Every structure is written in C-alpha cells, then in structure tokens.
C-alpha cells in the first residue's frame, strides 16, 4: 500500500526508476488509471512489481496465490512473468475494484492465467486447505487487511510448497512500525506480525526496504 518508496530520498527513488524501470505499457496505463482512484495509495510501487515479477521467474513459479488484488497491478506484474501454463489465484472481496483489474488482465492477454475469487480471503484459503491443496502453491503474496496478516501467513505456510516463497507487503507501514506508542491499529498488527516472523524458524527471512517494506519468507 504505497505507490512510492518512502525510505529513500525522492531524488534516489527517481534515479532508480530512471535506470531500471521497464514497465509494460498496459501496466503503465493501469497505474495511470489507478492514480485517479481515491484509494490509489493501496497500489504497490512499480519497482516492487518489477521485483516480484523477477522473483516469479527466479522461483520458476507456475502456481501463485494472491491475497489483496485491488485494481490488479500486482497480479498483472506476476501474471506477465508466469509461463503460459502458469496460474494465479487472486483473492479479493471487492467486485468494484477487481472489475477494473479484469479489464487490464484482458487487455494484456493474461485473463486466462488469473482465477479471481471474490470472497473474504480467509474463507477462500480455508476452502483450499480443506480441499487438500496444502503445499500446492509456489508463491504467495499477502497484501490485504492488516488485522488478518498473521492468519493469512499461517494459512499460506500450509498452502505453499517447501522452498516456496511468501511475500508480504507494507511491513514498514510508512515508518510508524518504529513507534512503540502508536495508537494506529494497523501499525500494531504489523508490529506483532513482524515480531512473530522474526521468531519463526520455519522460514528463511528477509525484510526489504522497498516501497512500504516487503518481507520475503522462504518456507524451509
């Protein structure tokens, strides 16, 4: 939930984009349309999308679980990086937001790679677990309601394979993560979440200061 890297000077952030961003024209159009949306700040930053696409390729992923779609920028970044037979299960509760996403997925020719599940995401994940889809996914991306981050993470740990990667957005919460007296509920949820992962020996762990903070947790 940040369209810019907050932990860099504006000049350095601009420089990084200038020398490295290779945004697909349809991703760029989606970003421009989303920038006019009142909740535009929920979209990931373009350099983060590019990193996630690179990770999809590095992981040689073909099955991805996404929790939190909004207008579909992160799904589209990952779908464009997937092989032709790759698939993303994209979970969101909003038809209004994801109707925008569907237009762009279609325009980019990846609509067949993305299976949209409109429901509370915990319900969708529980259905997968009940259906025996444990260790099914190569990667997961968590970017929805912060109050459920820990629950999403624990379910994703069951749903990704050994050696699978869980990515988690907004783990620095625009710096408020450092505020031990914060009254912001989302800051408190993310503080507890980060602490839990710091103690979790089931994963290899990195926190990247890109955009609003991206955690990479590789399941052992």
The answer to the question of residue 120 lying near ligand SAM (CB under 6 A) is: yes
Among 47, 92, 138, 212, contact with ligand SAM (rule: CB under 6 A): 92
Q: If binding is defined by CB under 6 A, does position 94 make contact with ligand SAM?
A: yes
Q: Looking at 16-24, 50-58, 87-95, 181-189, which segment touches ligand SAM (CB under 6 A)?
A: 87-95
Contact 71, 26 (CB under 8 A): no
Taking the complex as a whole, the smallest distance from the CB of residue 38 to ligand SAM amounts, in Å, to 13
Strands (E) across 55-202 are located at 63-67, 87-92, 114-118, 137-142, 160-169
Part of the chain binding ligand SAM (CB under 6 A), chosen from 17-25, 93-101, 103-111, 203-211: 93-101
Supply the minimum distance, in Å, between the C-beta of residue 146 and ligand SAM: 9
> Cβ distance 139 to 55 under 8 Å?
yes
Using the rule CB under 6 A, give the single segment among 20-28, 37-45, 125-133, 179-187 that binds ligand SAM. Answer: 37-45
**Is residue 182 at the binding interface for ligand SAM, with CB under 6 A as the rule?**
no
Length reported for the chain: 220
- How does DSSP assign 47-81, residue by residue? HHHHHHHHHHHHTT--EEEEE--TTSHHHHHHHHH
**Interface with ligand SAM (CB under 6 A), residue from 53, 90, 91, 110:** 91
Task: Produce one character per residue of 55-82: b if its CB has 16 or more CB atoms within 10 Å, e if not.
Answer: bbeebebbbbbbbbbbbbbbbbbbbbbb
- Quick check: helix, strand or coil at residue 84? coil
Cβ count near 149 (within 10 Å): 26
What is the DSSP-derived secondary structure letter of residue 83?
Answer: -
Instruction: Establish if 30 lies at the interface with ligand SAM (CB under 6 A).
Output: no
Contact mark string toward ligand SAM, 43..72, x via CB under 6 A: xx-----------------------xxxx-
Question: Binding residues for ligand SAM, per CB under 6 A?
Answer: 1, 42-44, 68-71, 73-74, 91-94, 97, 120-121, 143-145
């Amino acid at each position: 939930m940040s369209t810019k890297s907050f932990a860099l000077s504006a000049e350095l952030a601009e420089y990084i984009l200038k020398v490295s961003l290779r945004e697909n024209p349809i991703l760029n159009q989606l970003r421009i349309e989303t920038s006019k949306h009142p909740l535009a700040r929920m979209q990931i930053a373009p350099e983060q999308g590019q990193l996630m696409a690179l990770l999809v390729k590095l992981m040689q992923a073909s099955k991805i679980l996404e929790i939190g779609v909004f207008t579909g920028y992160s799904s589209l970044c990952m779908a464009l990086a997937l092989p032709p037979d790759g698939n993303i299960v994209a979970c969101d509760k909003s038809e209004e937001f994801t109707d925008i996403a569907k237009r762009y997925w279609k325009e980019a020719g990846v609509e067949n790679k993305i299976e949209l599940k409109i429901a509370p995401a915990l319900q969708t994940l529980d259905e997968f677990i009940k259906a025996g889809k444990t260790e099914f996914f190569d990667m997961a991306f968590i970017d929805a309601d912060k109050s459920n981050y820990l629950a999403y993470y624990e379910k994703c740990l069951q749903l990704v394979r050994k050696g699978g990667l869980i990515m988690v957005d907004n783990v620095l919460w625009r710096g408020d993560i450092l505020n031990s007296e914060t009254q912001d509920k989302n800051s408190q949820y993310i503080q507890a979440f980060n602490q839990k992962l710091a103690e979790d020996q089931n994963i290899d762990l990195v926190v990247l200061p890109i955009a609003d903070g991206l955690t990479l947790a590789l399941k052992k």
